[in-house]
Amino acid sequence: MESASTPRSRAREQTMRDIVRIGRQHLASDGAAALSLRAVARDLGLVSSAVYRYVASRDDLLTLLVVDGYDELGDAVDQALAGVEREDHVGRMAAIGRAVRAWGLAEPATYALLFGSPVPGYEAPAEQTTGPGTRVVVRLVEVWEDAWQAGRIGLDDSPLAPRRLTRDLARIRREMGLSAPDALLARGLFAWAALFGCVTWEVFGQYGTATLTDPADLFEQHLDALVEAVGLARA
> Could you give all domains of the chain from N- to C-terminal order, each with its CATH number?
1-56 (1.10.10), 65-230 (1.10.357.10)
Note the pLDDT tens digit of each residue in 104-123: 999 999 999 999 999 999 99
Cβ pair 141, 181 in contact under 8 A = no
Q: What is the pLDDT of residue 4?
A: 57
Segments of the chain with pLDDT less than 50:
1-2
pLDDT at residue 48, as a whole number: 84
Per residue in 60-77, pLDDT (tens digit) is: 999 999 999 999 999 999
Q: What is the DSSP string of 47-94?
A: -HHHHTTT--SHHHHHHHHHHHHHHHHHHHHHHHHTTS-TT-HHHHHH
Q: What are the φ/ψ torsions at residue 153 (nearest 5 degrees)?
A: -105, 125
Print burial letters for 110-141: b (CB count within 10 Å at least 16), e (below 16).
Answer: bbbbbbbeebeebebeeeebeebbeebbebbb
What is residue 160's predicted lDDT score, i.e. its pLDDT?
A: 86
How many other CB atoms are found less than 10 A from the CB of residue 21? 13
End-to-end CA distance of the chain: 53
pLDDT at 3: 52
Q: Where are the alpha helices (DSSP H) in the chain?
A: 7-30, 37-44, 48-51, 58-81, 89-106, 108-115, 126-133, 135-149, 163-176, 182-203, 215-229
